[in-house]
Structure 1
């Protein structure tokens, strides 16, 4: 009997040891798929971004960007703020297309900011190294003091803090109501659409009623914060639907943008580029040609995988990386495999790792 128990224990320990070894090996393999961080990105300067500095149109007016002043998620103690990438990328699209950008917040002054090093690109670091942009970001206009007639459009930046200080701010509601009714452009991304949920028009109708909108989704929120329903005053997708919106939901953590007349909304940070350029179009201008980023190419590959499968995604990857003329973010592709793990979707996890591995094979620049 003792011998049998010993054999079972020995077998169990052997299996556990094998699993641990496999996990360690898998971890090293995944780490090997992620390209090293390029230190030169951190020293990116606006003057080196030809998209921003060359062929800038004559001044076309001003756009107001609004960020949160909230630094903590309710009573949870978890820190928050506005998402730097969601401000920086839109800021440079607007300025590159001839618009001056002012930044406002509910409290004014220096708002809290969230910086995720893994998501940072050259435009984001350039924003941090841009003295004019930093002065505006660190000395925001109090939203109550905004002169609304100074601006052609308003853009609400995401960040989980927006869930707490955007929805019930009277000045924000007044700006949105005025701009919508005067057919000025309103943009909002990720948690930024929280600014829209309590806006009522002069006719008594909710702003979002019968409007096609996108925002951070319930699935995206709950996957990252399982107790989001107790931390936030509401789930943003639910609140927009409650107000009568036609919610336009895309794939998790991938680009999705909704354009309903002068109301333009995006699902998450990966929607910023297309949203900002759509705002330029709605303002009546053709956006300047912009170099596509490695992150955008990675999103295109991942969207192709979601819609058409791994073979089509590989074919697109080959097209993008042919001749090494265009970049593609292996880091973003690899990170998306983690979503499969969190969802318990082994097939998605392994397939996206296969895509990341294939990208590494195609990329001979290291």
Structure 2
């Protein structure tokens, strides 16, 4: 049996703010011929991020080119390689890199414009050709569903904790995470594995117990405790504050993060989930003597390092109990948009 020449693929055709109707499934999309440094993969599973929902609704602040195949996260099996490919082989399970050209830090303008599922065609298709540079071998301890979650959220958490090398997470340090999104859940797992103490916030008593199972020592309900920044700080040794804060809310929660940060601590701004007209000024970084750092996922080099940590610590990504079929991508989008999920929402592509 020969290699496939066409594939089914989802496509975002245009922006529509009130629905996902412009996300459409196309049949018999031609698969390009394999270049000498390219790899043909059969995509097994794709996991979703808030970004995937934001793009068709016109809410995404980074470069996009429509029409585009959505999705950045995936795991797949190598079916064929070009003659100059050396890093992966036929039969290997691989993960896709979020920004194809982000090989190592610092990130470049070229890399920022190479995001799968936004600037270039992504992963919600049955077969795809990628450059060898855009793929990383999956951890050997994870199955396809689990490995499909690594591209964005876990790698972002890893970059937040380890990307600023002079402030890389150390055993005994304190980490604050927010909510139960993918970045925060991975942040708890990585920090706990490193010997850090983790304080997490959530609005749900049920989810609080899940966060403790993942490795959080303390959980604060931010709906019951509006001044959660000071409440979290009070838990740290001598009330000195946190070495690392994973800031996923953005404008709406940064004020509380500043109340919780330690002198010389690092607030890593990851998300924009909590919009607000009122937000702290840049001068607050000076007033609190802290580093406020924006990041954009992570590099291939960091992905390789993270996968080693996943294998050596037997870390299992948190996957939502509802796995969606390839035909039900729009149902998966709506499920995540309605915030019915806990953990990563995954679309199973191949049987």
TM-score, normalised via structure 1 length:
0.27
Task: Report the structure, 1 or 2, having the larger helix content.
Answer: 1
Looking at both structures, which has the greater relative contact order when contacts are Cα pairs under 8 Å and sequence separation is at least 6? 2
TM-score, normalised via structure 2 length:
0.28
Task: Report the structure, 1 or 2, having the larger strand content.
Answer: 2
**Larger Rg, first or second structure (1 or 2):** 1
